[in-house]
Structure 1
Amino acid sequence: MISRIPPGYEDLLERPIVGVLGTVRPDGSPSLSPMRFTWDGAHLRMSQTIPRRKFVSLQANPNYSFMITDPELPSRSLEVRGWLVTVEEDRNGSFYGTLDDRYGVDDPQLPQDVDDRVVMILDATGFTARCG
């Protein structure tokens, strides 16, 4: 079943808004993390490092929820649900740089952990819009 973005909420995926990624830790407890992202119309892409908890959590349980709240109208939000599809290496930090550009980082520098950096590609299969 293909789920569609509710009309009028596409801008939340297109704007450089930091969202909150929800994952399930290997012990079953929930975890929330602020994340920068890109959207290609079907997938969210996020930068991460291999040793970090959210990456480990998505390896154990690939299901996620991602909440984007409109900073101009906090009662307006979009939840995206799906699962981790694949992971690509980002050892040269090019995707990390793409995120810096998207989010207006003026003095982009590669992170110290660039050797462990990956791009998580997350399939978006469900959307829930909220306003009010």
Structure 2
Amino acid sequence: MADGFTIANFRHVAHGLQEGQFAVGEKRRAASLYDLPPIYRQLLDEPVTVTLAVTGPDGRPSLTPMWFDHADGEVLVNTASHRNKCQWIRDNPRLSVLLVNPKNPYHWMQIKCTVRRELREWEEGGEDVTRQLDRIWTKYTGQPGPYALRDPKIDEKRVLFFCGVDHVATFGEP
């Protein structure tokens, strides 16, 4: 979004009980994910398994644990083209991602975003999809690429969704 997004910081209990805890304490505008305080930016860059929420055909959220990536102010969602989730994202391009600190569940961040564009591995520029997948493979496994979890029974192809950030909610401290 050219005009940025809102960050809602919830009142938390990291330093003890407080009046109005668990309610939104402050809201501020941000132009980029890089405007987040460092304690939340670290969740973006560390290998935190996130929960991706998409809307299924029955209107209910479908939740998937997955690897997280971002670049140039956008959330990147890389998935196999044959999975239901891929079509569900196309049908309803509004997604939510929840990043929870694995060492402290009271330190988390939610990002609501909207797909801006899609890049398919088998089309022009598709090598960028493969490079991004190899990069997050290394981030999460510590092993060099290529990504080694493609389904061996099919010619698995990947799709990369570039998502603009609409809203961020933050809670807690590491």
Q: Gaps (5+ residues) in structure 1?
A: none
1:123 is aligned to 164
- Structure 1 runs (4+) deviating above 4 angstroms are none
1:109 to 2:140 alignment: no
2:47 counterpart SS class? coil
Q: 2:57 corresponds to which residue?
A: 26
Q: Which position in structure 1 is the counterpart of 2:114?
A: 83
Greater C-alpha Rg: 2
Give the match for residue 2 of structure 1: 4
Could you tell me the TM-score, scaled by structure 1's length?
Answer: 0.86
CA pair 105-111 structure 1, distance change in 2 beyond 3 A: farther
Number of residue-to-residue matches in the alignment: 132
TM-score (norm 2): 0.67
* Structure 1 residue 90 displacement after superposition: 2.6
Contact 1:35 1:46 in 2 (8 A): no
User: Could you report, residue by residue, the CA deviation over 1:43-89 in whole angstroms, capped at 9, with x for unpaired residues?
Assistant: 11122112212211111111111000011111110000011111112
1:96 aligns with 2:133: yes
SS in structure 2 at match of 1:83: strand
SS of aligned partner of 2:141: coil
Percent of pairs with identical residues? 20
How large is the Cα RMSD of the aligned pairs? Answer: 2.1
> What is the CA–CA distance in structure 2 between the aligned matches of 1:52 and 1:27, rounded to whole Å?
16
